[in-house]
Structures are given as structure tokens and as C-alpha cells.
Amino acid sequence: MNARQLLKTYGPAALVTGASDGIGEAFARELAKAGFDLVISARRADRLEALAGALRADHGVTITPLALDLTETGASRALLDAATAQDAGLFVACAGFGTSGPFLNADVDSELAMIDLNCRAVTEQAHLIGRHLVARGRGGMILMGSLLGFQGVGRAANYAATKAFVQVLAEGLRIELGPQGVDVLACAPGPVRSGFADRADMQMGAAVPARRVPRPSLRALGGRTTARPGLFTKLLSYSLAALPRGARSRILSGAMTDMTRHQDEPG
């Protein structure tokens, strides 16, 4: 659907988490361009305020920035209150992070924090915002998965597991909420050029620019279960699709080994 149809179907406002950079920022920019008022959330208040100012100036929309750590008690409720106040009809859950490298070498607190943000917080948000969307009679929800979430992946074992959780959650919610007027989509990109790789300590080669993720995802909302945005992601996804799950795991584990080989170097 075009921008006008998107706004008519899911407007007047949208809620985007993880909006301070990467895919979340790209979604915020795309939705503001389409005329949505926005509630944007991330931990970094300075980045949020800068983005809010730019979007107001460029598109004349109302922006409500919320600097929140979504793993903290009450954060998801704050998102709900802001979404309700703006009558947000679209929720885009981009907040999350990844880790990489040998699982047994990882800091377990960091791994558990990733589960808390990528899984527990997303579940809480989907529950609260989902009720809001059902109550208003229409809406949409995009949950951020990953190409890694369709099989186990060595040297990204826990991250891939969190994204498998999100993928399955989105698939189930699409069946449950669709008849109640709420469209649900899993967005499952491959490598994306954003701040993700730096935090996960990965060295990516080919990657999709973050700005290429929102538009095909928004077009897929309401029509498909999963979006795989970007030509590179599609080529990688379809080339792997015909292979047995174990073969996909070995191939992607090999790719992850290449992207994290620098972690094994001394010093």
C-alpha cells in the first residue's frame, strides 16, 4: 500500500522502539515521511531528541520521544500510555541487541540481558499494545526477527534463539489477532548495516542498508507473515530455504565464524 493508504489503515500515529539508530531510526523516518505522528523510544535521550527535532522540521508531524530502558519495570506500561494518548495504530518493535562468539566464552549476564530485552520485553509490549490495538478495532504490529531465527547458528546461538522466539510469537499472534483487525508481521532481515554489528562484535561484509528495511516490511504488513527485506536478504534466504535445517545451520555457522574470527586472535 502507498503512504496514504498506510496512514489511513494504521494511523494516525505509530510507536517505534529502538528508534535512536539503525532499523528503528529508519522506520521512524519512513513513517514520519508517510505522515504518521510518532512515539519513539530508546535509551539514548540525546539521540532521540535530535531525531525528534529533525522529523518535526522535515515533516511537520508530532513526535513524542521516550528515553526508556525497556528491561526496567514499568517501561512497557509507559509505552502503552504514550501509544494510547496518541491513538497509535501501529507498533514497530525494533529495540534489541545481539551477541556473537563462542557461547561458553560469553558473559552470562549479557546473554540473559539479551533474552530479557529481545524476548521478555517484546512479549510484554506485544501483550499490552496488542490489547490497545484490538480495543481500537484496527492496527498493525511488526516484530523484529532475523534470518538467523530459522535455525540454530553456532557463535550466535543465544541471539538466534531469541529471534526464533520472536518469529514464532509473530506467527502465532498473526493468527490470533488478524480476525480482530490487527495485522502482525515478522520482519526477518539478513545482515543489516547499522550499529548492531559493532555492539555484537561482528565484522560484516555484504549487508543491507538499514534504510532499505522499512518500506518492503510496511508493504508486506497485512498480506504476509514474514518480510525478508533487501535483495541480498532474499537471495540468501531463498538459497537456504530448500536445504535441510541442519545444512542451513552449518552454512550460517560457517558465515558467523568468518564474521567473528577476529575474536579468536590473541590480544
What CATH code is carried by the domain that includes residue 99?
A: 3.40.50.720
Task: Say which DSSP state 21 is in.
Answer: S
Q: 67: part of which helix (H) or strand (E)?
A: strand 63-67
> What is residue 101's DSSP assignment?
S
Query: Which grid cell sits at 163?
Result: 529471534
* Cβ neighbours for 256, distance < 8 A, ≥ 6 positions apart: 100, 153, 154, 155, 156, 202
Domain count, the chain: 1
Active site residues: 159
Phi, psi of 42, rounded to the nearest 5 degrees:
-170, 175
Q: What residues make up the domain containing 229?
A: 3-264
pLDDT in single tens digits along all 267 residues of the chain: 787 899 999 999 999 999 999 999 999 999 999 999 999 999 999 999 999 999 999 999 999 999 999 999 999 999 999 999 999 999 999 999 999 999 999 999 999 999 999 999 999 999 999 999 999 999 999 999 999 999 999 999 999 999 999 999 999 999 999 999 999 999 999 888 766 655 666 666 667 889 999 999 999 999 999 999 987 788 888 888 889 999 999 999 988 888 787 787 765
pTM: 0.94
